[in-house]
Amino acid sequence: MESINFDQIQISSGWTPSSKEELENQLDNLFSSSLDALRGTWDLSNSANVLLSLIFYKRLICLQEEGELAFIKISEKQRQILHNFRQQLAQNEQQAFGDLRDALVAISRANPSLENIFAPLMVALQDKADAQHLARVFGLLEQVDFSLKQFSIAQFGAFFNKSLSRAAQRRGKAGGSATSPLFLNKLMALLLSPKSGESVYEPTAGQAGSLVALLQEAAALNILAQEVDQITWAFCKMNLLMNGAYEAVVEQNNSLLHPPQPPQQFDLALANFPFGEEIDLRAVKHRSYVKLPLDVGQEETDCNSLFVQLMLEQLNENGRMIAVLPMRALFKERQERRLREYLLRRDVVDAVITLPAGLLYASQAPICLLYLHKKKPAKRKGKVLFINASQLQPTSKSRVRHRLESQQIAAIVSAYHSCGEKVPQELAGYVVCKTVEQLLEQRANLNAKRYAAPFIQELEALADQNALVKLQEVMAGELPALWVHKKEQQFHDYPFVSSRDLALQFADYQLALAKLCPFEEQEEEEGRILQHSAFLVNRKGRRLRASYFEYSGQAIIVSKSVLVFDLQQKKINKEYFLVQLHQKLFLAQFNMFRTDHEALQISEREFGQLQMPLLSLEEQIKLVQETKWSLLKEEEHKVETLRSRLNLDKQTAQNRQMRIISSLQHELGNRLPAILTELKNIKDFLGDKVEEQTPLSWSDSIYPLFEGEEAEEEDQLGKVVRKIEQQLIYTINSIDAASNIISADKERMQLEQLLLRDFLEDWAQLYAQEKQFSIQIEVEDDERGRELPIATLIDRAQLATALSNFVENARRHGFSKDKKHLIRFSVSLLEEQEEVLIEYKNDGKAFPNSFTFEDFVSYGNYAGDTGHSGIGGYLIHQIIENHEGSLHYKEQIDKRDPFKVQFDIILPYRK
């Protein structure tokens, strides 16, 4: 590194800048020069930490001396240590560093609001510092007047905030996760429009850049912030103090594990939390802010959804919030979709703003702003405003780093606050409102690109004129065999596409230009559509992103990536195109998707290889005829297979009826006589006891014993009585299920308010002597670890019958004789839905692949390959419905889970 000539840097304390720009330049020069000096000793991160801490220290002392921070206690000795540090360093380096560390520790201990705030400087000073470089930096700092006379709170606060951001930029990904770009913070602040006196919450404050942006719009804000990293937390405190937020509360902890309790009812909340982080599911599943069911099959869960739920809980009834999210959160399935549906159904989604890629320091992923408002104005109720700002051309600071200009920020803010009624020229055609009902119909997809674009709006206009037809309907009508379900793994490595169903995922619209009139308007409309398509798809023929084919005739548009196919000629047989699309063109395209995705661009040579030769019309028709003949054969085979299957199903239904009859004959003809024999044996045994006048014991054998003979355990009185009881219960259940007149009769229900723990334990006593399996009962705990007293209204006899059928089903079909099995019942409370959840699990064999939940709950259904009827499952389902509950079968996802069978019983929570 080249040495710096510090003699050329003249920043006199007596010099008075003549303008705000000169003030900013003076501080910027100081920061750059000092940072370069420290790079000779520390790396970039520690250099910035040392410099910013020293600047904060100097400014803190000036503000304390001037009375601005009169509540801060700093002794004269501590001031002198800082003032004389450079001279002391030249005389005794070790003593100087020791005195500086002691002074920082003493100030922190004397002022609770400054506790640990000098951690970044202390950590850096633990390494051996270069006294010469540090002395030069102190020399530079001594040339600047840090008092209020020279720099106001707003001026110096803006400099300090900007310096933190600049340091994060220099560190790139290493520092970007703690800092949001200044322009992004400004955008969020203008969208939220804070008012003086409002309260603000930020769960991942970073270095407080977004909070400072709010303070620049409204100075008097009540702030509560949380930050988990100690160094970042310290700079957050510094930044807020330097910007006049002296009463701000900044906690150093993980907000997901230590949320504000009870919820604080803030007016505003905002966050740019780190994307894609995960947290131990067990640590958060019982938190009050978790409103959505978590995937209990996973050990960890994604934090994005949790942060949004946490912020929403902390808002008051009129609160509003903004969260920076990765674009994928707007359209991904599973947990992300559940969150979107939850927010839409409560009508708290106010706006969704998509932004260009490359705006963050730590990630190049495209991002969006999710704006939530708990009490939307009347004109916004039931609607969501979409602003597709991803098409804006940001200023490029480098190949991968971009920024939005003030004019672009103003355009976004204006579009939002006018509710899309006054759209600036920069966003013309890229702002639209959709109703909540429309969005729920679209699987809660909140991607603004899907709705807010001139091209999409033109398609919708054509649809209103009945000038669009579904391409999949055209294909399904002419080539039904083409549209079959494909195996997911066939296209699993191609980006941008989910191919579970080729017809649904690929096809959307085909222009029906013949329905447009007059002819001149047809050509004009077609030209506009093709122009937009070509621009969106291939970026003027260079960096091709979505499709590599353009068809100069009738445009074929696909919703997933807006594709336009070019087959080099105007004459094409439609059926031939469909055949090619299915057989070759489709796969060729997605191979190019992959190539383009990896390389980010495509060469002219590769583009040339994609030009597919188009056959003559005669050859096209011949190929189509051959394909149709082949497809016709396939259809005939399918019809014949279907006919055979229908005949088989008819025979299977008859067999099921016979099995039901056989099952009843078995119960009445075999089991009951056996029970009668056992009762006769007990009667004779009791008669002998009365005649002999001997005491009675459960362990007595009911059969006479010869001299020297020991009683077998199975012949003991207690065992025989228990066996008779089990046989009677099983027989009654089977008969009642088949006749459907006794146990599941809703009119005979006798509801009682019962604690589920007590009910389950009483019922489990029926199986207390069971050797083949054991029954385990768990009940949800509260936050203090105490078991919740979960009770509801149930019919004791009916619910016991349902549970016994679960057990007998497992004993008969899932349990093996050489293993001790486990049955587990877990009871919990779903507070949001006011429902009780009873999870039933067993570690026996899983259901056969041919056995579905419908088989289980259907009356008399043949249970897959098990060879038994589904009477028990039918009875269970009917009893749960009698209780106005629901029964759900959960397929096993984790193959390592010992519990192969799981059912969820959900009952109303009636207090």
d(CA 219, CA 221): 6
801 contacts 763 by C-beta, under 8 angstroms: no
Q: Which two tokens mark 513?
A: 């230009």
The CATH classification of domain 742-908, taken from the options 3.40.630.30, 3.40.50.300, 3.30.565.10, 3.30.70.20? 3.30.565.10
Q: Are 214 and 194 in contact (CB under 8 A)?
A: yes
Residue 495: what pLDDT? Answer: 25
Which pLDDT does position 268 carry in this prediction? 95
Instruction: Calculate mean pLDDT across residues 865-889.
Output: 72
Confidence class for position 262, pLDDT limits 50, 70, 90: confident
Angle between helices 454-464 and 519-542 (to 10 degrees): 150
What pLDDT does residue 384 have?
95
Q: How many whole angstroms separate alpha carbon 759 and alpha carbon 749?
A: 16
pLDDT mean over 356-370: 81
Per-residue model confidence (pLDDT) at position 490: 35
User: 117 or 699: whose pLDDT is higher?
Assistant: 117
> Would you place residue 657 in the very low, low, confident or very high pLDDT band (cuts 50, 70, 90)?
low
In terms of pLDDT, which residue wins out, 904 or 471? 904
DSSP category for residue 881: H
Average pLDDT over residues 832-857: 79
> Which of 37-46, 117-126, 377-386 has the least mean pLDDT?
37-46
Distances (CA, A) of 266 to 290, 361, 370: 18, 29, 18
DSSP for 412-473, written as a single string: HHHHHHTTTSS--GGGTTSEEEEEHHHHHHTTT---HHHHSSHHHHHHHHHHHTT-EEEHHH
* 167-452 shares its CATH topology with 742-908: no
Which pLDDT score, from 0 to 100, does residue 106 have? 87
Higher pLDDT residue, 422 or 714? 422
The pLDDT score that the predictor gives to residue 548 is 27
Residue 229 pLDDT more than 80?
A: yes
Domain 167-452 belongs to what architecture? 3-Layer(aba) Sandwich (3.40)
Q: Mapped to the 3 state alphabet, what secondary structure does 816-841 carry?
A: CCCCCEEEEEEEEEECCCCEEEEEEE
- Find the mean pLDDT for residues 437-450: 85
Give, for 168, the enclosing helix (H) or strand (E): helix 153-171
What's this model's pTM, rounded to 2 decimal places? 0.56
Backbone angles phi, psi at 654, to 5 degrees: -65, -40
pLDDT of 753 strictly over 80: yes
pLDDT digits (tens, 9 = 90+) for 312-333: 999 999 999 999 998 888 888 7
Query: According to the model, what pLDDT value does residue 879 have?
Result: 85
At 890, the pLDDT band (50, 70, 90 cuts) reads confident
Distance CA(507)–CA(511), nearest Å, equals 12
- Residue 334: pLDDT band with limits 50, 70, 90: confident
Q: Over 90: is that where the pLDDT of 21 sits?
A: no
- Report the share of the chain in percent with pLDDT over 90: 15
Q: Which has the higher per-residue pLDDT, 661 or 796?
A: 796
Q: Which residue has the higher pLDDT, 378 or 648?
A: 378
Q: What is the mean predicted confidence (pLDDT) over 619-638?
A: 67
pLDDT at 735: 61
Mean pLDDT within 387-413: 81
* pLDDT, position 528: 45
Q: Using pLDDT thresholds of 50, 70 and 90, give the confidence band for residue 397.
A: low
- pLDDT tens for residues 895-906? 667 788 888 898
The 8-class DSSP code of residue 514 comes to G
Q: In whole numbers, what is the pLDDT of the chain averaged over residues?
A: 72
Domain boundaries, the chain: 1-151, 167-452, 466-614, 628-715, 742-908
Share of residues in the chain with pLDDT > 70 (%): 62
- Residue 723 above 70 pLDDT? yes
Taking residues 14-39, what's their average pLDDT? 59
pLDDT of residue 891: 73
Amino acid at 648: L
Pairwise pLDDT comparison (503 vs 719), residue with the higher score = 719
Give the lowest-confidence range in 71-75, 377-381, 872-876. Answer: 872-876
Confidence category of residue 99, pLDDT binned at 50, 70, 90: confident
Please tell me the predicted confidence (pLDDT) of residue 278.
85
Q: Provide the angle, in degrees to the nearest 10, between the axes of the packed helices 209-217 and 230-242.
A: 20
Two tokens, residue 384? 């969501």
What's the length of the chain? 911
The pLDDT score that the predictor gives to residue 310 is: 93
What is the three-class DSSP state of 585? helix
What local confidence, expressed as pLDDT, does residue 503 receive? 28
Tokens of 499: 């191919």
Across residues 402-408, what is the average pLDDT? 86
CA distance 630 to 769: 65
Render pLDDT for 518-562 as a digit per residue (tens, 0 to 9).
445 444 444 444 443 333 332 223 222 222 233 333 333 333 333
Q: Residues 137-161: pLDDT tens digits?
A: 777 777 788 888 888 898 889 888 8
Q: If you average pLDDT over each of 351-355, 632-636, 814-818, which comes out highest?
A: 351-355
Least Cα distance to 905 among 756, 709, 725, 729 occurs for: 756
Residue located via tokens 């059912």: 903
| Mean pLDDT on 812-830 | 86
